């Protein structure tokens, strides 16, 4: 059976040089099959290597291409079991609650049977398992979860290197994960997991329990490089200390809302390079090789001030701090920060209170990101290697930004979410006051059904709007009046050279925008008014699209017909500051 061309291309494009390739000669493939699929004749180790580079869904689909591929798939040591793929029982929408519950339970038992059969097959054939990923849906009866212990024994004794367990249970609505919880909500982690010497990556998510009962249990994580615990019950600090102290090769630690854990001390880990912590009140990190540190104490119903001691991490290159109310940002704070971490290149601060005037000076800093940092009127930056300054604001309270020194590649990225009201006069003044004037500015504006704008068209027309490099518009709304309001008003605050609309923008926004550009030469829309519409100030424009070739500047109708719609999962993969799937290049009249 022939492979489809696209699959062949994907496989070849992902294939790196492999030592077994040297063993392949022309004589190993029969001449009469020269026009057939040759990839299927490769050694199984190479076919496994190809499959490991494909997305999980594609790796499953490839099993139907040929018997060779099916045999390869059935022995593929990367086992991924996602319960959402095993929903086969169909029931009417008007079925009773009892019938729906029965169907759900039936699908769960089918899922459990598929997992067990696969694991038993690997055991009987003496096959190793390199990766095991298990994802349950949100509701899973305890009777079903009881099977996990048996599965883990089969997996851990097969030399597994990557273990990912996601129980899929919805997070309990606790005021603080370190205080209010019921231990009965958590399932005990099978002890055999702690004895898996071959583990390189261990990721546990949602309502597993690793408590004091494990303190006397031998932990054999001699090869572990990544430990990720999310919404896991840890009892107290001693449990996590025992875990990480048994990982001499650990490079990456992630602790997210670990119940029972108020404080954590991370030290004596010479290879540790990355720490990601959310929802722990006090953190102490002493890691000489640490390069990345993320600390977030947001997400609670009550405010947690947060406290972190990281001064001994002299090799730190990237730091992200979120909502630490115990800190008020001042000039002196920045001065001490860059003295303590002389190699720091990337700094992100979110939800902080800042002093009125802030001066930031650093030789090494390359990326600065300030998100919802309030009360600052003036920000001055002297950073000769700075390539990007990202400023996020949801409140239309803008500081005066002055870039005293920066890299020749520098760009200012401004991100605004008009949750309720966007003041266009303030936005225009903010853009106008950026110094020096020639700095390239990329502006992202997002809005939804509840958003509106405030502006005085007479005041805005008194002065020509400031020029910026790039404007990105994104609408989480299909309301025509909302999209029309933003399209007709936003351009009074700035004159962008490029306007981008990503595929996650609503089609209504794209339609209205294109309609205004089509009618830009017809001034009947504003002939009775002293104020001209912004599109009449366009001298020329060009249109480009990633999903359709535009042969003419006004090829808007075919563009709209081809405009794609994405799922939420696909939307999440799109960068807000990517080039955009529809791009308009504007030349404005002087």
Q: What is the pLDDT of residue 350?
A: 92
Mean pLDDT, to the nearest integer, of 282-307? Answer: 87
> 3-class DSSP state for residue 66?
coil
The β-bridge partners of 415 are 392, 444
Task: Convert the pLDDT of each residue in 102-156 to its tens digit.
Answer: 887 888 888 888 899 989 988 988 889 999 999 887 666 677 777 888 899 999 9
For residue 252, give the nearest of 265, 271, 238 by alpha carbon: 271
Q: Higher model confidence: residue 316 or residue 68?
A: 316
Place of tokens 């209504």: 508
Backbone angles phi, psi at 137, to 5 degrees: -75, 180
Dist. CA 297–CA 304, nearest whole Å: 6
Dist. CA 55–CA 172, nearest whole Å: 31
Dist. CA 106–CA 468, nearest whole Å: 58
Return the structure tokens found at 590. Answer: 């002087």
Dist. CA 293–CA 174, nearest whole Å: 26
Task: Convert the pLDDT of each residue in 456-505 to its tens digit.
Answer: 777 767 778 899 999 999 888 888 899 999 998 899 889 999 999 876 66
Distances (CA, A) of 167 to 186, 212, 268, 582: 10, 21, 32, 40
Give, as one character, the DSSP assignment of residue 261: -
Mean pLDDT, to the nearest integer, of 11-18? Answer: 42
Task: Convert the pLDDT of each residue in 27-66 to its tens digit.
Answer: 444 444 444 567 767 776 777 777 767 776 676 677 666 6
- pTM for the whole thing? 0.82
Given pLDDT bands bounded at 50, 70 and 90, which one contains residue 187?
Answer: confident
pLDDT of residue 556 exceeding 80, the answer is no
Given pLDDT bands bounded at 50, 70 and 90, which one contains residue 522?
Answer: confident
Task: Convert the pLDDT of each residue in 354-392 to its tens digit.
Answer: 888 899 999 999 999 999 888 788 999 999 999 999 999
């Amino acid at each position: 059976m022939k492979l489809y061309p696209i699959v062949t291309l994907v496989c070849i494009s992902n294939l790196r040089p492999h030592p077994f390739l040297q063993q392949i000669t022309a004589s190993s493939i029969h001449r009469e099959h020269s026009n057939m699929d040759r990839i299927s004749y490769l050694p199984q180790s190479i076919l496994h290597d190809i499959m490991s580079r494909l997305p999980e869904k594609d790796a499953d689909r490839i099993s139907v291409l040929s018997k060779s591929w099916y045999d390869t798939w059935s022995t593929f040591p990367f086992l991924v079991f996602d319960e959402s793929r095993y929903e086969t029982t169909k029931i009417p929408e008007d079925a009773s609650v009892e019938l729906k519950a029965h169907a759900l339970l039936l699908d769960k038992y089918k899922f459990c049977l598929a997992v067990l059969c696969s694991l038993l097959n690997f055991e009987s054939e003496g096959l190793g398992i390199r990766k095991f990923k298990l994802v349950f849906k949100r509701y899973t009866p305890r009777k079903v979860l009881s099977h996990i212990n048996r599965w883990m024994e089969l997996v851990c004794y097969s030399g597994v290197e990557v273990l990912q367990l996601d129980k899929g249970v919805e997070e309990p609505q606790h005021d603080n994960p370190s205080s209010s919880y019921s231990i009965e909500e958590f399932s005990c982690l099978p002890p055999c997991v702690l004895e898996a010497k071959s583990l390189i990556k261990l990721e546990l998510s949602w309502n597993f329990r690793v408590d004091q009962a494990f303190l006397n249990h031998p932990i054999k994580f001699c090869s572990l490089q990544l430990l990720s615990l999310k919404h896991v019950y840890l009892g107290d600090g001693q449990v996590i200390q025992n875990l990480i102290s048994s990982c001499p090769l650990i490079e990456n630690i992630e602790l997210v809302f670990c119940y029972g854990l108020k404080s954590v001390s991370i030290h004596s880990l010479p290879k540790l390079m990355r720490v990601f912590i959310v929802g722990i009140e006090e953190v102490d990190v002493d890691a000489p090789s640490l390069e990345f540190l993320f600390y977030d104490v947001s997400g609670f119903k009550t405010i947690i001030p947060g406290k972190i001691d990281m001064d001994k991490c002299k090799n730190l290159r990237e730091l992200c701090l979120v909502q630490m109310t115990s800190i008020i940002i001042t000039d002196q704070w920045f001065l001490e920060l860059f003295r303590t971490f002389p190699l720091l290149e990337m700094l992100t601060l979110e939800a902080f209170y800042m002093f009125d005037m802030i001066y930031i000076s650093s030789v090494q800093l390359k990326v600065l990101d300030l998100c919802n940092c309030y009360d600052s009127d003036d920000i001055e930056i002297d950073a000769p290697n700075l390539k990007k300054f990202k400023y996020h604001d949801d409140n239309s309270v803008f500081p005066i930004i002055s870039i005293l020194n920066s890299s020749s590649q520098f760009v200012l990225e401004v991100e605004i979410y008009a949750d309720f009201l966007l003041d266009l006069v303030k936005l225009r003044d903010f853009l106008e006051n950026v110094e020096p004037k020639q700095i390239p500015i990329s502006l992202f504006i997002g809005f939804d059904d509840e958003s509106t704008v405030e502006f005085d068209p007479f005041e805005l027309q008194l002065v020509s709007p400031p020029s910026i490099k790039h404007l990105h518009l994104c609408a989480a709304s299909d309301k025509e009046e909302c999209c029309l309001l933003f399209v007709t008003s936003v351009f009074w605050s700035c004159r962008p050279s490029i306007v981008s609309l990503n595929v996650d923008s609503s089609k209504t926004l794209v339609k209205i925008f294109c309609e205004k550009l089509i009618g830009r030469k017809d001034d009947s829309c504003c002939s009775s008014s002293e104020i001209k519409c912004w599109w009449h100030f366009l001298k020329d424009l060009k249109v480009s699209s990633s999903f359709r070739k535009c042969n003419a500047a006004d090829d808007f109708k075919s563009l709209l017909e081809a405009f794609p719609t994405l799922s939420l999962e696909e939307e999440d993969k799109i960068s807000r500051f990517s080039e955009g799937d529809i791009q308009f290049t504007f030349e404005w009249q002087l």
